[in-house]
Amino acid sequence: MNSSILSLLIFIPVFGALSMLIVSVLRNRDIISNQNKDLYKYIALITTGVQLFLAIILYMKFDPTLSVIESPFTVQFDWIPSFNIQYYIGVDGLSMPMIILAALLSFLCILISWNVEKHVLGYFSLFLLLDAGMMGVFMSLDFFLFYVFWEVMLLPMYFLIGMWGGPQRHYAAIKFFLYTLFGSVFMLLGMLALYFYAPGGNSFNLIHLITQAPQIDASLWGVDMRLLIWFALFIGFAIKVPVFPFHTWLPLAHVEAPTAISVILAGVLLKMGTYGFLRISYPLLPEEAASFSFMMALLGVINIIWGALNAIAQIDLKKMIAYSSVSHMGYVLLGMSGIVGGEAVGAEAGMNGAVMQMFNHGTITAMLFTLVGVLYDQAHHRWIVYPMDYKDPELAGKLGFGGLASKMPIFNGFIVLAFFAGLGLPALSGFISEAMCFIGGFGSFRVLTMIGTLGILFNAIYFLRAYQKVFQGPFNEKYSDLKDMSMRDLGIIIPLAFLTLLFGVYPQPLLEIVRHSMTKIILLVQPYI
């Protein structure tokens, strides 16, 4: 039963998508009535609800002190024996928070998407396939299997943006597709190099490669093969984070994507890049991880500053949050660079903080995008201020909103919570994880970390500016018909707000999950410092 939970978490969404197709065929043949227009939505909701329930059971039975090999939550058997490819999945302290996050946000995203009326079957079936791919990535312990699930996510996300997105959805979808595919090609090359050059027989088994990959003794064009593999994997994962300068696809994708897809993109998909670093690059290539920790810290600080400065310049709430995600993923990179810290406490703080930031940012940014979506559904725009070249000359340069705090008090309360969590206010989840990332970075690269702290100031600027423009000041009577949050909206936001508050005042449950796995990675890298 324990091991079957893992496969169910991956394939229940696939079964849900297939059941939708079966229902569609039966409807076309008039075997099932077409009167219930929400049937596909209910199938998706039940599917993701069951998945979330199983994820909670997995969490309750999970022992973070056990390694993947020791854990009862492991499935391993030959898939393609001729190439030594296995269906090998498992869970440890690194993957457990991501599984919970993916399951929770997938369930909530179905509720967010409840008003979708265009090609309902296609939307929800594609979303469930995306869900399956995400779960597969976080559980895979075979590199080939990891790559398969990584690519499985590409097409659903492309169509979800390209068919249900905004006015520039086609351009955004193509840009997302090309960037991600470009990174996937490099990841494929790195994977094949590990397969052919690692001693001990050709294998994609990540546990096996942990011991064998550091022993690769080969070169190509006079360059050490391990170094080439590191850079190939780095490009593949960096595009997904996204790391500067590979970040340009993200703001456009966010702006054009439907609200639910923005939530899943920022909440889960961005974390796959940093997850790839921690799952594959660091354990398999510990010497290179140590050697390029400065580069990781530098890129992290650039992400923090560049993302925040771009967020300040935005006049669209959604684009502002998109750039804030670029900035906040920089904290994760900075925390990861702390692995080379001279003191074990600093290294542990940085690595633990990086994983905690991945989870906490996922819940905070999901809350932000959901709230912006609630506002957009009623007002049909997201302007902080109207742009000077707005298509309606009567509105050019005028304030978009104003005084919404009095009109939408419940909404205002949650947006304040989300904004304050985003800027890292104490007692909220973003504070503790960002602080731990800074502790880790400061132990290794003090000057860079001090520069990175400017991101806190910049975060405050764009969040408080947006709040002042949209929620304070005189109320724009044009929006007198706006309604406060519905019960469905509250049902989506409250779980995210609860986690933001819980891990802000009591982060121990999350820290306890991740710390043992991070310690193992630290021990692999520390000998090469």
Q: What is the DSSP string of 219-238?
A: EETTEEHHHHHHHHHHHHHH
pLDDT band at 118 (very low <50, low <70, confident <90, very high): confident
pLDDT tens by residue, 234-284 = 999 999 888 888 888 888 888 888 889 999 988 899 899 999 999 999 999
User: 328 and 365 in contact (C-beta within 8 Å)?
Assistant: yes
Q: How far apart are alpha carbons 233 and 417 in whole angstroms? A: 37
Give percent of the chain above pLDDT 90.
Answer: 41
Tell the burial category of 312 from Cβ atoms under 10 Å away from its Cβ (0-12, 13-18, 19+): middle
User: 163 and 169 in contact (C-beta within 8 Å)?
Assistant: yes
User: Does residue 390 carry a pLDDT above 60?
Assistant: no
Task: For strands 85-90 and 223-224, give the pairing.
Answer: unpaired
Q: What is the pLDDT of residue 339?
A: 84
User: 238 and 246 in contact (C-beta within 8 Å)?
Assistant: yes
Q: Which residue's entry shows tokens 């912006």?
A: 372
User: 510 and 359 in contact (C-beta within 8 Å)?
Assistant: yes
Q: What is the pLDDT of residue 119?
A: 86
CA angle 344/331/528 to nearest 5° reads 35
User: Does residue 462 carry a pLDDT above 70?
Assistant: yes
Give percent of the chain above pLDDT 70.
Answer: 94
Please give the average per-residue pLDDT across 505-529, as a whole number: 88
Look at the alpha carbons of 93, 98, 103, 108 in this order and tell me if their dihedral is positive or negative.
Answer: positive
Q: Which residue's entry shows tokens 């703080």?
A: 349
**Which tokens belong to 258?**
């439907």
What values do phi and psi take at 165, rounded to 5?
A: -90, -165
Tell the burial category of 480 from Cβ atoms under 10 Å away from its Cβ (0-12, 13-18, 19+): exposed
Of 150-164, 197-211, 489-503, least confident by mean pLDDT is 197-211
Neighbours of 16 (CB within 10 A): 25
Question: pTM for this structure?
Answer: 0.92
Query: Which has the higher per-residue pLDDT, 167 or 505?
Result: 505
Q: What is the pLDDT of residue 399?
A: 58
**Which tokens belong to 267?**
């909440």
User: Does residue 7 carry a pLDDT above 60?
Assistant: yes
Please give the average per-residue pLDDT across 117-144, as a whole number: 91
What values do phi and psi take at 198, rounded to 5?
A: -70, 130
Q: What is the pLDDT of residue 403?
A: 82
**Which tokens belong to 216?**
């690769």
pLDDT tens by residue, 324-379 = 999 999 999 999 988 886 666 778 888 999 999 999 999 999 999 999 999 888 88
350 secondary structure, DSSP code = H
**Which tokens belong to 160?**
């979800």
pLDDT, mean over the chain: 87
Please give the average per-residue pLDDT across 159-173, as a whole number: 86
Q: What is the pLDDT of residue 430?
A: 86
Q: Which stretch of DSSP H or E encloses residue 76?
A: strand 74-80
Extract long-range pairs of 242-247: CB within 8 Å, 24+ residues apart. Answer: 242/179, 242/270, 242/273, 242/326, 242/329, 243/273, 243/299, 243/303, 243/329, 243/333, 244/299, 244/302, 244/303, 244/306, 244/307, 244/326, 246/179, 246/183, 247/303, 247/306, 247/307, 247/326
Please give the average per-residue pLDDT across 194-214, as a whole number: 86
Task: For strands 74-80 and 85-90, give the pairing.
Answer: antiparallel
**Which tokens belong to 415?**
């947006």
Q: What is the DSSP string of 78-97?
A: EEEGGGTEEEEEE--TTHHH
pLDDT band at 34 (very low <50, low <70, confident <90, very high): low
Q: Closest Cα partner for 277 from 296, 249, 299?
A: 296
